[in-house]
Amino acid sequence: MTKSILKLDIEAMARAIHALVAIIFISAISFQSCLVSANFYTDTYFNWGAKHSYIFGNGEDLNLVLDGVSGSGVQSHKAYLFGSIELLIKLVPGNSAGTVTAYYLSSTGDYHDEIDFEFLGNSTGEPYTMHTNIFTQGKGNREQQFKLWFDPTADFHNYTIHWNPNAVVWYVDSIPIRVYRNYKSEGIGFPNQQGMQVYSSLWNADNWATRGGLVKIDWSCAPFRAGLRKFNARACKWNGPVSIYQCAYPNKANWWTSPVYKQLSWDQQGKLKWVRDNYMIYNYCTDYERFNWQMAPECSKPQY
């Protein structure tokens, strides 16, 4: 009897130690993965048009440039799964018609995930269009577009993608403008299986960007410049498939898993409604003709 009790005690202690080691391991990974801030010099690189862009201000500022020769783009060295990606952007001033300044997260391959901000330029005095989209397993067509309630060329403004196991939320200056909730258990795609890198670019899209391509770039206004500042990736570093569990594990290090981020507050919901009532100009969920009345299943689900 004594030997049996002793054996059970040892087995129970072994299980407890194993569980404790697992928790410590997961916590350690999570703490190492969550970056408080980033630097353009050390944390990004130019993936095209390097001669048309430059970093300055101790690595906190970057200018993307587009001229008749080339545009330019930058991306993060690391990929992430869940957290907040923040970037301050000052868009191309004046006659920006035909230009697009993009800021987005994306994985790679035919079945990639992607979360987008794109800013479609316009003629002098006309407002920018802020275009958002989300891809899951290579499938997009989830566009929502907005006008902005300020001049995005006069100063820098904060554009944040907050992404956790429950939802993706797009923010502009801390105001939520869009929510895409996780209904993967019901067969609706959600980006929670692939790490995504951060990208930003300035490019010629005058075949579609302004009035459906009717307004072309005025190259006499070139070079066009968009300013990026204070790239912050408070996010979980992607270390391969093991990150699918590690980055979603609910602990203090993975702050994005806190219950407070499972739902917008009443104040946030009020701000979201204000934006959508007053500044939304396109919603794929109400474009019945485009989809021949075969609407995406998430369109009938509550998002916030």
Cα torsion at 124, 125, 126, 129 (round to 10°)? 80
pLDDT of 152: 98
126 among known catalytic residues: no
Residue 267 has pLDDT above 50, yes or no: yes
Closest Cα to residue 98, out of 69, 72, 67, 75? Answer: 67
Given a cut of 70, whether residue 293 has pLDDT beyond it is yes
Q: How confident is the model at residue 37 (pLDDT cuts 50, 70, 90)?
A: low
Catalytic-residue membership of 11: no
Contact 129, 97 (CB under 8 A): no
Catalytic residue (choose from 11, 118, 143, 298): 118
pLDDT score for 27: 40
Q: Band the pLDDT of 130: cuts 50, 70, 90.
A: very high
| CA-CA-CA-CA torsion sign (79, 82, 87, 91) | positive
Cα(13)–Cα(18) distance, integer angstroms: 9
Residue 272: which pLDDT band, with cuts at 50, 70 and 90? very high
Q: Which pLDDT tens digit goes with each residue over 178-232?
A: 999 999 999 999 999 999 999 999 999 888 778 777 788 999 999 999 999 999 9
In this prediction, residue 1 carries a pLDDT of 46
Mean pLDDT value across the chain: 89
Provide the pLDDT confidence category of residue 123 given band limits of 50, 70 and 90: confident
* pTM (2 d.p.): 0.88
Residues 11, 60, 114, 298: which is the catalytic one?
114
Q: What average pLDDT does this structure show over 287-303?
A: 97
